[in-house]
Structure 1
Amino acid sequence: MAPKIDITTYPGNIINGEFVPTPTTRHSIDPATGEPLYEVPVARREDLDAAVRHARAAFKTWSATTHEERAGLVRAFADAIEANRDELERLQTMEQGKPLGLARTEVDMSLRWLRTFATMRLDDEVLDDNEERTIYSTRVPLGVVGAIVPWNWPILLGLGKIGPALMTGNTVIMKPSPYTPYCDLKLGELAMSVFPPGVVQVLSGDDSLGPWLTEHPGVDMISFTGSIPTGKKVAASCARTLKRYVLELGGNDAAIVCDDVDIDKCLPKIATLAFLNSGQICMLAKRIYVHDKIYDRFRDAMVEFTRNHIKTGGGFEPDVVVGPVQNSMQFELVKDMYAQIEKCGWKTALEGRVREGEKGYFIEPAIIDNPPEDSRIVVEEPFGPIVPLLRWSDEDDVVERANALETGLGASVWSRDLARAERLARRLAAGSVWVNSHFDVAPDVPFGGHKESGIGMEWGLEGFRHFTNSRSLWVWKKVFE
């Protein structure tokens, strides 16, 4: 029977199957109320050293387990999470701010991801086989993986690193964001009841912990999701010990809407995927290029839909789509982007507003009407509920504009003419490109970015490979005949 978690208590970091308290604690803030949440540990360097030591010891036996053994424990972990999902979903809404329905979606996805990972395996590939020799390409685990998790999807993106790392035979030390440590600590508590000591450990800390983890000589790989500037620092730190890394970084996704679309059918999804989670998802539609022939009708319909269906409020309120911005730092960044509207003279189709004077970090959606292509709202990822609509009429021109930035995470094309849409889609420089959709992801489909949006891929068998080294195995058959 799965253990039941208490979301109000955090007795320590999870190290080698035990709670390890720290002399110093800290707390995060409920972004909807501004009220402090529970005290959590602040890891010291010696806590990290201990976790690495235990992870390296556990790796010796965990890496020798069979696929079936690992899969059984990963499924048991998923079952333990499911048994506690109500508590985790409420905790997610409290610490992250997302609406409760979206928190449920995140847990649904996380369970599906883990259970799918448990079915996936990297088998040996026979490169050559004859009477004299057999040559295999094999994959071997790297060792200790440091999983650095962001604050926008802490459950899914945490488990999206843990699952592939474990299934490929590695041990994991997960570091949640200081802004959202609670769910990930509880995931570690549940893992403690399932996996052998040292296989899954979780360290909550302050801003020092990430650099300690990336530079630690006993850590063999870093899987990082976060901003582009921080990702560059992670890569530089990893280079000092030549540890492997996968970086899933920011995006500024373009959505190209052609003139033949049925606006009534496609607009609700486009609008929702511009403002979901308060715009705090790296793969949302953040630059919407609308064909000139339908631009005015599309703009007016998007404004009407957003006013009537994109509700802003606390995550426990009914029918909310836009919850609070997650933390004060991001709140100030998004406020500054809203301040540019008046400073730069941008025309607004939907003005939006910052709810000043409230305890929470609430900002209502804004739609910017055809700003200049070099505007900050176009070239920077706002990571908030504000989106520009931009006119286009020439296919070559809109592809060039969509590809012009140094980001390349996702992109989409919307058209009834599937041949036309796929032709345009194949010209877009992004790691994921969708036709007549946006932000579709799956555990068995690789996910990652081009250009400054990342290095390497997560999920799918390609993502699994990043947690392994490639080894060529030559077997000569007749040497001793």
Structure 2
Amino acid sequence: MVLDNPDAVMTHLRFNPVRMLIGGELVDGTHHAAVIDPALASQCAVAPMATPEQLEQAVGAAKAAFPLWSATPIAERRRRLHLFAKVLESNVAELAAILTLEQGRPLALTRVEIERAAMLLRALLTIDIGDDVLRDDDSGRVILQHRPLGVVGAIAPWNVPIGLAVPKITHALYTGNTIVLKPSPYTPLATLKLAELAKDVFPRGVFNVINGDNDVGALMTTHADVAKITLTGSIATGKRVVASSASTLKRLTLELGGNDAAIVRKDVNLDQVVPALFGAAFVNSGQVCMAIKRMFVHSAIHDELVERMAAIARDTAMGGGFIPNVKLGPVQNQVQFDSILSVLKETKADPRARFAVGGNALNKPGYFIEPTIVTGLSQGMRLVDEETFGPVLPVMQYENDEDAVAQANAGKYGLCASVWSANVTEAQNVAAGLVAGTVWINRHVGVDPLVPFGGTKESGLGRQFGKEGLLSFTETRALYSPPGA
């Protein structure tokens, strides 16, 4: 089975349609929705859509499976999750091809997404989440226990579907919870296929995957039997989840939008940093929460840096993800495509804006927007203040570090930031003033599974990864025992 072109993948899906996983059984939906190939802006497949009754079945199955799974020794939970990682690794060709069809990212990069998901999974399993002894003396013994919560409702986004769903699955199941996962209805195919491939890895009901629109997600966030919601999405969606989950005081892990800033000091080596900056800004056509969304460049090097980045943009191949040597794919969906074009139209109307490169949709089928770099902007402009989430980068000048930090910290976002400098000590001093959950020096983008990741301000609640992220899927209980117990 060679899945190296859209027609082959569509034929494969037609003869092997995806289904949902509920209580250990693969089930169809009572109705189906079209899935759009963003490289052609046309239907490539259909996916089953869950009814409210099927959501109830999935939550009920997860609830019924919880007592046995939560009591399963951690070594056995770890073993089964390693088997899950092997499913990813053994089926990377099929999963990556399906993912490229529905998401648009070049095939070589969706393969990396699948492989990296397995790597992140295995790394998380090396973290010790056992009980902690806080005291053991003449006054008695105190043990801090980390007990699973129950059913976790997980909502994954369309930009990195497998790469962001697998850590949610791992966090939930490793800590003894059961899960109901809902992928984005824009990109459900690879996730539903993964559920099919992993159907027998876990006991029935431990791992459930349904597809549905926002109404199904809303029902999940209000469901009395769902103990925790883990979401990667927009700030607006996160706020709706907070409001709807308030009646049951659900535990929340929300990784939301990031209008991430990069500060580039005048002492950098442009030969070294320009390719890295371009890659960190335009990765996945800018559709990554932690990508560079705003760049602040010292005035002494601003013009040269912009022209060098524009030159890379002009030489970057953009097209369908199955075309060899393509580096950037389309924007994933019509709604996001229209939103980005709206921002570009508004920016073009501002006399201060200068487009160093790009600024238009490509004259071809699909949701393609040229890699775009804009200068001359400032705070108060939509392209600067909001997360565009596409292949568009505003570059602003600054004169001193204090000014750069103040501009970078402006606004409601606080996910990630970076400082670029030949002097690491001075870069660390600049980094100390940045308000963000993650700050890099001389790099940008990428998580370490052993290090907690999440946002400040309106960029999220809680953390994923690291021991802190895993334990946020548990309830802490202090157990007091008498001396000598």
TM-score under structure 2 length normalisation: 0.95
CA distance in 1, matches of 2:85, 2:34: 27
* Cα distance, 1:478 vs structure 2: 6.6
Q: Contact 1:77–1:190 (CA<8 Å) still a contact in 2? A: no
Residue 73 (structure 1) aligned with residue 76 (structure 2): no
Q: Which residue of 2 aligns with 1:422?
A: 428
Q: Which residue of 2 aligns with 1:277?
A: 284
Residue 476 (structure 1) aligned to one of 447, 457, 482: 482
Q: How does 1:76-475 map to 2 (within 5 A)?
A: 76-308=83-315, 310-345=316-351, 346-356=353-363, 358-475=364-481
* Cα distance, 1:43 vs structure 2: 0.6
Q: How does 1:6-45 map to 2 (within 5 A)?
A: 7-8=13-14, 9-10=16-17, 12-45=19-52
SS at match of 2:361: coil
SS at match of 2:248: coil
Q: Which residue of 1 aligns with 2:4?
A: none
CA distance in 1, matches of 2:136, 2:125: 30
* Cα distance, 1:234 vs structure 2: 0.4
125-134 vs 280-289, which moves further: 125-134
CA distance in 1, matches of 2:29, 2:297: 54
Aligned length: 473
* Cα distance, 1:324 vs structure 2: 0.7
* Cα distance, 1:460 vs structure 2: 1.0
Q: Contact 2:18–2:193 (CA<8 Å) still a contact in 1? A: no
> Which residue type is aligned with residue 143 of structure 2?
Y
Structure 1 runs not aligned, ≥5 long: none
CA distance in 2, matches of 1:320, 1:128: 58
SS at match of 1:240: helix
Structure 2 runs not aligned, ≥5 long: 1-8
In the superposition, relative to structure 1, how do residues 88 and 7 fare at CA in structure 2: closer, same or farther (>3 Å)? farther
Q: Contact 1:149–1:158 (CA<8 Å) still a contact in 2? A: yes
Q: Contact 1:110–1:159 (CA<8 Å) still a contact in 2? A: yes
Residue 57 (structure 2) aligned to one of 47, 50, 63: 50
Q: Contact 1:354–1:364 (CA<8 Å) still a contact in 2? A: yes
SS at match of 2:214: coil
In the superposition, relative to structure 1, how do residues 197 and 56 fare at CA in structure 2: closer, same or farther (>3 Å)? same
In the superposition, relative to structure 1, how do residues 286 and 478 fare at CA in structure 2: closer, same or farther (>3 Å)? closer
Runs of 4+ in 1 over 3 A off after TM superposition: 5-8
CA distance in 1, matches of 2:198, 2:483: 44
* Cα distance, 1:445 vs structure 2: 1.3
SS at match of 1:69: helix
The Cα offsets for residues 91-146 of structure 1, whole Å up to 9 and x where unpaired, read as: 11000001112111211210101111222231221111113410011110000000
The Cα offsets for residues 400-447 of structure 1, whole Å up to 9 and x where unpaired, read as: 110011100000000010100011112110011000000121211111
* Cα distance, 1:341 vs structure 2: 2.9
Q: Contact 1:7–1:186 (CA<8 Å) still a contact in 2? A: no
> Which residue type is aligned with residue 418 of structure 2?
S
> Which residue type is aligned with residue 274 of structure 1?
A
> Which residue type is aligned with residue 470 of structure 1?
T
SS at match of 2:198: helix
The Cα offsets for residues 64-104 of structure 1, whole Å up to 9 and x where unpaired, read as: 11111011100111111211110101111000001112111
> Which residue type is aligned with residue 212 of structure 1?
L
Q: Contact 2:137–2:483 (CA<8 Å) still a contact in 1? A: no
CA distance in 2, matches of 1:41, 1:373: 44
Q: Contact 2:287–2:389 (CA<8 Å) still a contact in 1? A: yes
CA distance in 2, matches of 1:15, 1:166: 16
> Which residue type is aligned with residue 68 of structure 1?
A
Q: Contact 2:376–2:395 (CA<8 Å) still a contact in 1? A: yes
TM-score under structure 1 length normalisation: 0.96
CA distance in 1, matches of 2:149, 2:296: 43
CA distance in 2, matches of 1:234, 1:191: 28
> Which residue type is aligned with residue 319 of structure 2?
G
CA distance in 2, matches of 1:88, 1:476: 54
The Cα offsets for residues 228-251 of structure 1, whole Å up to 9 and x where unpaired, read as: 001100011111111111100000
SS at match of 2:211: coil
CA distance in 2, matches of 1:151, 1:264: 34
* Cα distance, 1:331 vs structure 2: 0.7
> Which residue type is aligned with residue 273 of structure 2?
C
> Which residue type is aligned with residue 42 of structure 2?
E
SS at match of 1:296: helix
* Cα distance, 1:7 vs structure 2: 4.3
